[in-house]
Amino acid sequence: MFSTGLLNNRTILITGGATGLGRSMAFKFGSLGASVGIMSRSEKRLSATVDDLMKAGINAAFHVADVRKPEEIHTAVDAMENEIGHFNTLINNAAGNFISPLEYLSPNAVDSILGIVLHGTFYCTLDLGKRWIERKNGGTVLNIVTTYATTGSAYVAPSAAAKGGVLALTKSLAAEWAKYGIRHVAIAPGAFPTEGAWSRLAPTKDLSDRMLERIPFKRFGTHEELTDLAAFLISDGASFINGEAVSIDGGEAIANASQFGFLSDLSEQDWKAIRELTRRPKA
């Protein structure tokens, strides 16, 4: 789909890059010529992923940092920049989430999600943004949100509120930091099975099947589909796209907002009868 050197000039920081979609983006961007730095809390997972990236011929580095701690982010970015060069692209991908009625949660549980998703995205953007403004070379930020960042969603209220905030940040800084040559984009994924998400959001086969049922194509998204979109959006080919969030969910959000979507289970016979009932009476 892309020429191999598409991201040759990129050094990309991916938060949460050792697992799931972050890991898949690291391999995709690396295969297109980028150097990649990954950052999260588990040294074991980071180290294993960087080993695999390097085996694939990708220039990569890692550093442990909790995105809720600005000083840890700063130290990690300094260390990785010494190893693989100055970052010019940031993927805010780290997240925390689980399904629960809000009334079961403690304030600490709410803070945990808001801290990782909303504050963590702010802190990483602020750290890299300050460096980019000083260096005067611009930069690109891709924020991974969710389709429910715009609609909200029951049973994941802290995540929905945090992702909604990240979406507002994307649009705010698209306007504010364009003057520094810093571009902001977002991806709103639907359902893409990963161990991290499924263990917390669809922990039984029944719940996973019910998620699948909501998607008009009756299949989940593949990591390849998401990473292709991410590669395009961060590339120079998308340099006039700023402040936009692109949904990639197989039409799930639209289908479930569709007022008459419930008619999908009507038979040909049903439609024949309805045609007769709904035609304008002949004069």
Question: What amino acid positions are annotated as catalytic residues?
Answer: 148
Instruction: State the nearest-atom distance from the C-beta of 221 to ligand NAP, in Å.
Output: 7
Q: Which does 108 bind (CB under 5 to 8 A by kind): ligand HXC, ligand NAP, none?
A: ligand HXC
Residue 198 Cα to chain centre, angstroms: 15
CA distance 99 to 2: 37
Confirm or reject binding of residue 38 to ligand HXC (CB under 6 A).
Answer: no
Nearer to ligand HXC (CB atom), residue 40 or residue 88: 40
Neighbouring residues of 201: CB distance < 8 A, sequence distance ≥ 6: 97, 98, 99, 156, 207, 211
Q: Which residues pair with 60 in a beta bridge?
A: 36
Confirm or reject binding of residue 98 to ligand HXC (CB under 6 A).
Answer: yes
Q: Which of 39, 191, 230, 234 binds ligand HXC (CB under 6 A)?
A: 191
Residues that bind ligand NAP (CB under 6 A): 15-16, 18-22, 40-42, 45, 66-68, 93-97, 116, 120, 144, 146, 189, 191-192, 194, 196-197
Report the residue number whose CB is nearest to ligand NAP: 196
* Cα end-to-end distance, the chain, whole Å: 58
Nearer to ligand HXC (CB atom), residue 41 or residue 86: 41
Confirm or reject binding of residue 96 to ligand HXC (CB under 6 A).
Answer: yes
Give Cα separations from 177 to 126, 138, 142, 170 (angstroms): 11, 9, 14, 10
Nearer to ligand NAP (CB atom), residue 98 or residue 180: 98
Confirm or reject binding of residue 92 to ligand HXC (CB under 6 A).
Answer: no
Confirm or reject binding of residue 22 to ligand HXC (CB under 6 A).
Answer: no
Length of the chain: 283
Q: Which does 66 bind (CB under 5 to 8 A by kind): ligand NAP, ligand HXC, none?
A: ligand NAP
CA distance 153 to 159: 9
Confirm or reject binding of residue 242 to ligand HXC (CB under 6 A).
Answer: no
Instruction: State the nearest-atom distance from the C-beta of 195 to ligand HXC, in Å.
Output: 9
Confirm or reject binding of residue 256 to ligand HXC (CB under 6 A).
Answer: no
Instruction: State the nearest-atom distance from the C-beta of 235 to ligand NAP, in Å.
Output: 20
Confirm or reject binding of residue 84 to ligand HXC (CB under 6 A).
Answer: no
CA distance 203 to 103: 20
Neighbouring residues of 154: CB distance < 8 A, sequence distance ≥ 6: none
50: helix, coil or strand?
helix
CB 215 within 8 A of CB 173: no
Q: Which does 59 bind (CB under 5 to 8 A by kind): ligand HXC, ligand NAP, none?
A: none
Confirm or reject binding of residue 196 to ligand HXC (CB under 6 A).
Answer: yes
The distance between the two most distant Cα atoms of the chain, rounded to a whole number of Å, is 82
Instruction: State the nearest-atom distance from the C-beta of 259 to ligand NAP, in Å.
Output: 24
Residues of this chain that interact with ligand HXC (CB under 6 A) are 95-98, 100, 105-106, 108-109, 112-113, 146, 159, 191, 196-197, 200-201
